[in-house]
Amino acid sequence: MLSELIPQTRFSCGPSGFETISKLKIPYSKLVNISHIEHIGIAVRDLEAAIAFYEKTLGLQCYATEEVDDQKVRTAFFRVGGTKIELLASTTPDGPVAKHIERRGEGVHHIAFAVDSVRASLAEAEALGVGLIDHEPRKGAEGMEIAFLHPRSTLGVLTEFCAQPGR
């Protein structure tokens, strides 16, 4: 049905950068279904110092810290309206966040979008040609299921899908 279709612009990297190559119509049901920004991940060297800045200068309150073995990080969470800030400090010198800081310094590390089902959204993104870092959901902080898309497919932004498990 026409009302269920929205125009989708596809881009390809040509000699002059990104160029529009075609306009496709893709059914809504085939697009990744994002509800909101769940959190923004920020890579920091010193978690305690970063928490102090967020609390004492920005006036936000850290409501949880958690070590996530899978990603070799310690995290600290702050609520900001309907979304969160997730501070990430590496627990090992060779962890992904330590490598990110080596290459790019401290700063924004990823954006996490809330989805209904990480598995379904990964499949939808992959079908639309997005490169994936994680082909299966894995366990993130706060008991969430998470998965990362490859930044080369997402205009340089490391992009996470996350959802409450069992959905």
- Terminal Cα distance for the chain, rounded: 28
Contact range with Co ion by CB under 5 A, out of 7-15, 19-27, 33-41, 131-139: 33-41
Q: How far is the CB of 110 from Co ion (least distance, A)?
A: 6
Interactions with Co ion, residue window 46-75 (CB under 5 A): none
Contact 41, 68 (CB under 8 A): no
User: Burial letters for 6-32: b for 16+ Cβ neighbours within 10 Å, e otherwise?
Assistant: eeeeeeeeeeeeeeeeeeeebeeeeeb
Q: Of 112, 153, 105, 152, whose CA–CA distance to 129 is shortest?
A: 153
Told to check if 96 binds Co ion by CB under 5 A, we report no
Q: How far is the CB of 114 from Co ion (least distance, A)?
A: 11
Q: How far is the CB of 7 from Co ion (least distance, A)?
A: 31
Told to check if 112 binds Co ion by CB under 5 A, we report yes
Residues that bind Co ion (CB under 5 A): 41, 86, 112, 160
